[in-house]
């Protein structure tokens, strides 16, 4: 199996030993504590599950700036984005060497992790501006990722953490949420050697499904991991339970047995386009995938990124040898009226736009809301039915 990034073995930060877990949980209740941001909570969950291995905790400013500017930490390790615990107020933890980090997304704010505090530093406006510009390629606060990153506060609390739970993901999505440890184990159990991962924050229409089949065939993969984001999204995105149901129905009906796993991870979407594509590849390698599909405008939003920026960044900015996972580069896929099948649009040079079945997101949402299934060349009818029920429930 492919090795994790920067190490021979995965290094999850969740406390698996039951005695240590009990002891730490009791200690945490008496420690100075702070409620962290949703973004920081997602980062803790990702570190707990081994996705960010071998990271040991939240970055200090020097490491965060290194990750933002050149994807390299102070110790020379590769990491593509800052992973910070930013707070507005640190009065409750001033002078503390050990603190409890509380979950903002669960009632009662239970302890999510315990941190050994190495530093509490104030991030300057200039540093915040640099990190925002490097990671998001814009400082526009209308960009949902920029808005979320800059609204957390300016005090960076850094240090190694020990994770005690996986927030709401394990209770809300018991059949879907999986740690990198669990996915690696399942890949081994299934006997897969070559594995391609597909990232999604949306339900999968026919073009997405066929793209996965295409990648598996061309790469000679014996397994596909459909890996969906379960954390916070922007307004208007379809909720995770609906996406989950739609994707599971598609796999059940249109993929051979033991060829696809439907899983999810707990993380708030950054919408950082190219830089987030690198992060996605990073944690897909850690979960055991040998290949990763990156299509047009991967992890983008609005018009902030070029159509293929998320692919070219691997050639122009990622340090050579930093990642072992291979990228499957895809163009937009759509149904060809000429060929009666889904194709990559750049592989059909004799086609005009009118030769493809193309529907805007707005048009699809309008159809579903009116109880009308998109054409079978766009969406599987069984998937469309699940989405129709969701959109009509919004009107009820």
Q: Of residues 154, 202, 248, 365, which has the active-site annotation? A: 202
185 has catalytic annotation: no
Q: Of residues 201, 243, 284, 296, which has the active-site annotation? A: 201
SS3 string, the chain, reads CCCCCCCCCCCCCECCCHHHHHHHHHHHCCCCEEECCHHHHHHHHHHHCCCCCCCCEECCHHHHHHHHHHCECCCCCECCCCCCCEECCCHHHCCCCEEEEECCCCCCCCEEEEEECCEEEECCHHHHHHHHHHHHCCCCCCCHHHHHHHCCCCEEEEEEEEECCCCCHHHHCCCCECCHHHHHHHHHHHCCCCEEEEEECCCCCHHHHHHHHHHHHHHCCCEEEEEEECCCCCCCCCCHHHHHHHHHHHHHHHCCCCCEEEEEECCCCCCCCHHHHHHHHHHHHHCCCCEEEECCCCCCCCCCCCCCHHHHHHHHCCCCCCCCCEEEECCCEEEECCCCEEEEHHHCCCCCHHHEECCCHHHHHHHHHCCCCCCCCCCCHHHHHHHHHHHHHHHC
154 has catalytic annotation: no
Q: Which residues are catalytic?
A: 201-202
């Amino acid at each position: 199996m492919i090795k994790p990034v920067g190490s021979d073995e995965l290094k999850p930060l969740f406390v698996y030993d039951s005695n240590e877990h009990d002891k730490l949980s009791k200690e945490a209740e008496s420690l100075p504590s702070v409620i962290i941001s949703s973004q920081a909570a997602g980062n803790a969950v990702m570190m707990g599950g081994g996705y960010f291995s071998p990271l040991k905790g939240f970055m200090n400013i020097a490491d965060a700036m290194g990750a933002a500017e050149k994807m390299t930490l102070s110790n020379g390790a590769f990491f593509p984005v800052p992973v910070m615990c930013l707070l507005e107020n640190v009065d409750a933890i001033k002078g503390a060497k050990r603190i409890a980090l509380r979950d903002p997304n669960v009632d009662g704010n239970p302890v999510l992790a315990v941190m050994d505090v190495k530093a509490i530093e104030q991030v300057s406006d200039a540093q915040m501006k640099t990190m925002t510009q490097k990671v998001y390629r814009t400082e526009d606060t209308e960009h949902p990722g920029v808005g979320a990153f800059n609204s957390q506060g300016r005090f960076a609390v850094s240090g190694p953490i020990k994770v005690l739970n996986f927030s709401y993901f394990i209770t809300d999505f018991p059949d879907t949420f999986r740690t990198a440890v669990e996915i690696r184990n399942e890949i081994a159990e299934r006997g897969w050697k070559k594995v391609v991962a597909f990232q999604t924050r949306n339900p999968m229409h026919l073009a997405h499904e066929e793209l996965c089949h295409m990648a598996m065939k061309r790469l000679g993969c014996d397994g596909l991991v459909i890996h969906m984001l379960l954390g916070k999204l922007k307004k208007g995105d379809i909720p995770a339970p609906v996406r989950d149901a739609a994707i599971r129905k598609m796999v059940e009906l249109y993929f051979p047995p033991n060829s696809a796993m439907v899983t999810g991870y707990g993380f708030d979407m950054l919408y950082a386009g190219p830089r987030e594509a690198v992060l996605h590849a990073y944690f897909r390698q850690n979960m055991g995938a040998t290949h990763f599909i990156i299509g047009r405008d991967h992890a983008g939003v609005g018009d902030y990124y070029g159509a293929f920026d998320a692919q070219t960044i691997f050639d122009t900015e990622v340090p050579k040898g930093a990642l072992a996972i291979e990228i499957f580069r895809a163009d937009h896929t759509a149904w060809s009226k000429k060929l009666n099948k889904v194709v990559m649009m750049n592989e059909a040079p004799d086609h005009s736009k009118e030769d493809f079945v193309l529907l805007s997101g707005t048009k699809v949402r309008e159809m579903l809301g009116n109880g009308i299934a998109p054409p079978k060349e766009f969406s599987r009818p069984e998937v469309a039915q699940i989405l129709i029920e969701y959109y009509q429930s919004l009107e009820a």
